[in-house]
Structure 1
Amino acid sequence: MNPPRAVGLLGLICLLGGGCAATQELTRDLPGVKFVKYTMAGADREQRASLDRGLTQLRAFEYDPAVRSLRQAIWDVELIDKRSLRLEELVEVHQALAEAYAGLGKNQWSTEQRALAQALAEYGRRENESGPTETALAKAKAAYQSAHFREAVTGFGQALVEIEGQSPTPLRLRSLVDARCHLVLAYFALGRSERAGEEVRRLAALDGATVSCRRQAPPPVRTLITAVEASEARLGKRSAD
């Protein structure tokens, strides 16, 4: 048996058995392994389509299209029910976003994404842990309501990680939309309207998310949301043409 095939079979055996951590790491990106993981998780391989498209665009140095694809990928992979696979894919999404932002010269945004990817990876190593997600989100909201906006931004970032312990999927999605909407509000309150706008773009990638956010936003933020949505609609039309 040739070595690549042997490694592939060993990786498959370990995946099926749920063990062999070192071998899982070795075989994670071999052709077919991702397909096996999706099959075993009962997940639709199409949930990775936006991520694959973003990675292809990233390799071609098409940074703006890559960012748009990866914003969509954030929500697509959230539909994966199996926690370990979902977290693995989210880590890859945010690492790719970090590279795309770096390519666009947005180094602070890139650093944020690398930190989020690392936090998600560490969270994924805590087997079956379900933290007090409501507490993390509530603390961040309390900081925002007290006008401690920098603390709120940090808190909502932490909540994005801990919310991954929630199930079922609709509940998790609602909590993520809530956290990201409050990130829009907190960044705007800090005078970082460009960063707030990027968070709006991430929300806009999920149908209906900006609608719920607009309802709780003050008028200046509603104006920002409307402007960002109009800009994204124009970009989408040009891409279609």
Structure 2
Amino acid sequence: MKILILGGTAEARELANRLVDRGHDVTSSLVGRTSDPRLPKGGIRMGKFGGIPGLAAYMRAVGTQRLVDATHPYAGLMSVNAVAAAQATGIGLVRFMRQAWTQTPGDDWLTLDTTAEAAAALPANADVLLTSGHTGLEAFFERDDCQFVARLIEPPVAELPRHISVLLSRPPYDLTGEIQLMEREEITHLVTKNSGGGQTAAKLAAARRLGVKVIMIARPAYGPAVEVSDLDGAMAAVETGAG
């Protein structure tokens, strides 16, 4: 089967590798936001498609038989475009997305819809660990009554204001390291997106342990698709078209 995976996540890489090992013709599409990414087996396509018409045209041209959206839960527009392109072409769409985090006893969460709302919700003089990524970072530029540590994988393109320092690192993170970071920076608030998965979940356990307030930015709506949250389910959905 000829499969196009909209990738960029560890889950997408694992799925591509397994599908290639099963003999499928797999191409993984990467936007290219991260330098030196870990590449999956199979073909690689770098760059954007040009919206819904471009994605639909590409799939028709190469004879795609199954489309897999395995992008980050906050890829947003790409997931919306995948739904529309699948509907336009009649190609089956599988959404492989890790399960969202849920609150457990002892958590202190405030769930909001946008980074702008998260920035507005912070109290004055908060010391904030910001792990919501590059997108929406500018929402915190005006909150110079707070101090931020922005943890990013790649350096920001624009210069950040003085009240936002950058910590460059890559997951996975463990509980001990997250506790040490929050204690060292005297963190009072954690701002994060509900990305799910295990590689970055330790920050939530550390916040629970230390009594740090969590401002959680909710996931966007994605549109209809066969949706699965684990690798075995993704394999079955891709190969059979069933959820």
Which protein has the bigger strand share? 2
Higher relative contact order (CA 8 A, sep 6+): 2
Q: Which band: TM-score by shorter chain?
A: under 0.3
Which protein has the bigger helix share? 1
TM (norm. structure 1) is: 0.26
TM (norm. structure 2) is: 0.26
